[in-house]
Structure formats: structure tokens, C-alpha cells
Chains A and B, each alone.
Chain A
Amino acid sequence: MRKSYIFLVFVILAVISGWYLGSLAKNNQNTLGNGGGISVDLIVRHYRNGTLISEQYKKGDPFTKNFMLNIYALLNGYGSSVSMQDETNTARSIDYGSLFAGTAYVGIGTGTNAFDINNYNLISPIAWVQNSATSTSSIGTKGNISFSASFSLSSAATITEVGVKVTEGGYNFLILRDLITPINANAGDTITVQYIIRLNG
């Protein structure tokens, strides 16, 4: 019986030390320097008769290949165009001079397919609304860019996905898409979607 207890203690110690050292090893790789990158926070609110009845907060809304191609173009000093899939899944060659055009839309939909980096549209979009003007703030090494959109539903729907598309060269390209906890909305309900783009956050 005593041997069993000793064995159990050693097993627990092995698990704890392994887990701790594993996380240290990972953190050491990522925390040299002062941190850097972009992450996305998503806040979705559901209102009925003007009353907030649910709110969900998600961190790390994933980026699509189209977003990546925009960053690639920004960081590539040699190319002249990128080929992106527009919202109809048609390949469009967009000149570098037409990128970062400053028009974006937030969408909601009822699709349930898992995120795929090659997503070119919401799976089942039901509405797109041009985003609000962005607001920015910063402190220390961190910067935030936030924007939102509001949707008034004309019919009942179960909202399961949200996303952002940008207009470049006359076409629309999905840059963010994520699934959310399903929202059972009635006709007349309002859904607001807020994005916070965090730089170094």
C-alpha cells in the first residue's frame, strides 16, 4: 500500500514537472524580444427590444489566405499583383496599387463549417454591413484598432458565423471568418459585432 502511494507521488511529480518545463520551453522561444504580432478579439451582442440578452467574447479570430496575401504584398518590395479568391470564389489578380483600399464590411451568417484558411466567403451569409469608422488607441508597445457593425434582422435566424471582407480593385475579399456560439435571433432582434485588432497585444 505504501509503495502505491510513493508511486502515485512520483507520477504526479513527473506530470507537474513535465508540464511546467514544457511550457517554459515554449515560452522561452516566444518571449525573447518585446513580443509582436496581431490578434483579433471579437464581441458579439444580441439585443431584443433594445435589451441585451446575450454577449460572447472570442479571442483569436483566424485570418484567411486573403488577409495573408495583403500582408504579403505590404512586405514584398518586388511584386506587382496578388491573386486572391473573391467572394464568388473567382481568382482575381489585384494590383498592389489597389490594395488597402479602406472599405470593409462585417457579415453574419448561418454556416457551421469549421474555419478554413481558404474560406472566400461566409458559408451561408445572411447580411453584410459596412463597418463603422475605426477607432485607434495605444499604450506602451500595444495598439488597438476597433470597429463594429449592427444588424437588424428582418426574419428569425440562428447566427453561427461572422466575418470581415474588404473591397479591393472592385471585388470583395474575405479576410476574417469565425464560428460563434449559435444565437437564436427573432425577427426584429439586433446583433452587433465588434472587432478589436490588437497589435502586440
Chain B
Amino acid sequence: MRKLPVILLSIFLISFIASSAFSLREGRGIMEVFVNLKVYDAKGTLIKDITMRDPLTQAMGGFVNRLLFWTASATDESGTSRSLGTGVSGPVYICVGTGSPVNPAYSDYKLVYLLQCVQASQSTMSIVGNRGSISLSASFAFSQQYTITEVGLRKYLSYNYLLAHDALPSPVTVPAGGKLTVTYIIRINSGV
């Protein structure tokens, strides 16, 4: 009976780990889009670190559609519907904004109130087993304090197309002289 707490703790931990692993297996072939934001103060100290899942927009749907059929269109950042042609050669930007309220929708084509876009770093890609990961990031340096409420991913292909857009779970304040790093991580087959 004296060993009971140890036995129960072991059972609890095994259940905990098994449950997490079971959740990972759901969705098998799903491609998940995560965005991570890190806020640094003027001294370079990390003061906030959040990761969330970022919804894709109609433009991303347009590109996936174009992969599968030749008649596909997407709405650019000016709100104009454009037919998408073959090819995806063009820079990618990560954008942050201060819009309020931000109610993300699949039909979004621009940030509510765009503050700044920075060209993303060269994407990196890795594969382990049947799972893959693509990541790209951008850093924003602000001379004055801003409160960021939204984030987005933009592709330039003759026109600007917003591929992903989300509201932050809670506003993120970047102090004057501070830095914000935004990283997009796309996980492929995360459940396989």
C-alpha cells in the first residue's frame, strides 16, 4: 500500500503521454500552419513567446486550386479578383498589423490595418520519416512602441496575395527599440 502513490503516478503519466500521442495521430495527412511570435525588449531580452495556428485565406485556396486545375482565381490585396497563371516565382512577405477588431475569415485579402511587411527569409524545408516541415521568418524592429493585433503571410506575384491571416489571441506590445520575430511553420503529414 505504501507504493500506491508511485503506482498511481506512473499510471497517470502513461495515460498522459498516450493521450498526447493519440491526439497527434488524428488528421494523418493534414498540413498545419503555425505562426510563432517572439518579442524582445530594447536590451534583446525575450519578453513574450507565443505560437498559434494561422488560418489560410482564399488566396491560398486559389493557389492550391491552380495546382489542380487551370481555371483558378484569387482576390489580391486591393480587393480585385485575378486569374492565377502558371508559376509561383515571387517574394514572400510576413506582415503585422494593428487592426481592431480582427475577425479572420477565409475571404480575407488584406490585414485590417497594415503596419509593416518584411520580406521573409529563405524558406527551409526538412523531412523526418513521413513528416515534413517548412519554415520562414521575418524580423521587425520598431523605434516606437506598437501593439500588434494581427499577422499575415503575403505572396507577391505581379500583385500581392494574402495567403494566411489571423488575430493574435491577445494584443502583443513591442516596446520602443524592441524587436518582433515572426516565424511561419508549415507541418506536412503531422499525423502520419
List residues of chain A with CB under 8 Å of any chain B CB.
3, 7, 10-11, 14-23, 25-27, 29-40, 59-63, 65, 67-80, 95-104, 115-117, 131, 133-134, 136, 138-143, 145, 147, 164, 166, 175-176, 178, 197, 199-200
Set of chain B residues within 8 Å of A175, measured between Cβ atoms: 67
B20 to A104, Cβ gap below 8 A?
A: no
Tell whether B16 is near chain A: CB-to-CB under 8 Å. Answer: yes
B51 to A116, Cβ gap below 8 A?
A: no
A68 to B64, Cβ gap below 8 A?
A: no
A101 to B11, Cβ gap below 8 A?
A: no
Set of chain A residues within 8 Å of B148, measured between Cβ atoms: none
Q: How far is the CA of A88 from the CA of B164 in the complex (A)?
A: 35
B11, B55, B186, B189: which contacts A117 (Cβ < 8 A)? B189
Tell whether B192 is near chain A: CB-to-CB under 8 Å. Answer: yes
Q: How many residues of B contact A (CB 8 A)?
A: 87
A98 to B70, Cβ gap below 8 A?
A: no
Question: B69's closest neighbor in chain A, by CB?
Answer: A134
B 138-192 contacts with A by CB, 8 A: 153, 155-156, 163-164, 166-169, 184, 186, 188-189, 191-192
A117 to B129, Cβ gap below 8 A?
A: yes
B 1-60 contacts with A by CB, 8 A: 1, 4, 7-9, 11-20, 22-24, 27-35, 50-56, 58, 60
Question: B128's closest neighbor in chain A, by CB?
Answer: A117
A19 to B18, Cβ gap below 8 A?
A: yes
- Among A25, A29, A60, residue most surrounded by chain B Cβ atoms (within 10 Å): A60
